[in-house]
Amino acid sequence: MIPEVTGFSKLNKQQKIDWLVSNHFKHTKKAEQVLYTYWNTDKQLQQLHDEFAENTLSNFYLPFSIAPNFTINNKRYTIPMSIEESSVVAAASNAAKFWNKRGGFTAKVIDTQKIGQVHFSFIGDTTKLVTFFNSVKPKLINSIQPIEANMKKRGGGLLDIELRNKTGDIPNYYQLHCTFETVDAMGANFINTCLEKFAEVLQLKALEWDAFTTSEKEIEIIMSILSNYVPDCIVRAEVFCNVKDLPNTSEISSKAYAEKFIRAVTIAEKEPFRAVTHNKGIMNGIDAVVIATGNDFRAIEAGAHAYAAKNGSYSSLTHAYIKNNIFTYYIEIPLAVGTIGGLTSLHPMVKLALELLNKPNAKQLMEIIAVAGLAQNFGAINSLITTGIQKGHMKMHLLNILNQCNATAEEKQQIVQYFTKNTVTHSEVIKQLELLRS
């Protein structure tokens, strides 16, 4: 049994590694070497990475790739993507090239409101609570003036506070539902600091409110926290072209291609089992850019999937239709991202990624990320309705299989050449590698 350890966070890095390898690995030297291999040789840079999290022992690398040739709102972009799935960057790049010839992508931020809530219990007369809230609301707003001073200078701050009665869901449960504009910051720390001040003032003023009975004065704050569901922080990205400008081959006409594409999207709109995989493909593109630009992909994922279920059933985030012989394909998605604060000013690769994008503001980054998701989804559906998903995916996966088999450079060259004209499967790669070696 692994022994319990106390005061682990107070140990230095070497002591942490010694405890880890001695209690978890048979080959301690090999485990140590793996950890050391991924240390940055620049001690100052390594210390910076160590301080991003708790109990850090080493670094975990993801590939930093680029997808060139994106035209968004008539501007050309090279998009940074950090992801380990081999076919994602290729699919996005191919989609960018495809739509470049058809006018490129358009994108527009619809709104940028973010939400935070103070959750509390109140046992008493709801009418009195409403009167109390209306009276105390100006005091709540004034209480955060020092907190939001810098945010206001940038054009952001608190937008509104509402009292919401949720007793129909949970007895005695109410919320302060607060909306914010955080401009170019993601704003989590700002919002949470404001919410905690609201909770403090709400509780204090309730004790002083003469109209409350003794029990009513005892408002219980349950928690104060921002929401990662941001249905009013929305961006739309789309592409469109004449139906005749879609792929037209001996196997499928442009009109048939458009109809099949729309049918594939409609299935994802109606069938949750398909929708989950469909949206996962969208998030392949989105997460890759979110990670590369130092934003919180877990928050983006949670908000996107909640939005996909906003009508009561989980559905596609993308949509397609034909009107007046024009094929239109679009995505609307909530994206709460920032280009200042957090890792954006600390992580060297994040700073590089943002510079690569010409230092976008938060709205521009929302547009770029949404386009990456739309492009990725287009690439996936295009493969599904034509050659099938595995042909392109397995070719991109080929080198991973060869690396798993410890193939030499010469073996890789010959095997890759063989599969330029043959279908890649794991078993076939193993077979050809064994034939080559024999």
Catalytic residues: 85, 280, 296, 393
- The Cα-based distances of 412 to 63, 88, 393, 402, 415 in angstroms read 20, 22, 17, 7, 5
Determine contact, residues 118/141, Cβ cutoff 8 Å.
no
H helical segments located in 82-187: 86-100, 126-143, 145-153
Tokens linked to 302: 């949670």
Q: What order of strands is seen across the sheet that includes strand 114-121?
A: 157-165, 173-181, 114-121, 220-227
Tokens linked to 3: 């022994």
Determine contact, residues 378/282, Cβ cutoff 8 Å.
no
Query: Half-sphere exposure (CA, 13 Å, Cβ side) for 242?
Result: 2
Distance CA 434, CA 165 (A): 68
Using the 8-state DSSP alphabet, how is residue 3 labeled? P
Q: What is the DSSP string of 240-289?
A: EEEGGGS---SS--HHHHHHHHHHHHHHHHH-HHHHHHHHHHHHHHHHHH
Tokens linked to 102: 């058809």
Distance CA 409, CA 426 (A): 19
Distance CA 286, CA 308 (A): 15
Tokens 């401009």, residue located: 183
Contacts of 178 (CB under 8 A, 6+ apart): 115, 116, 117, 118, 158, 160, 161, 162, 191, 194, 195, 198
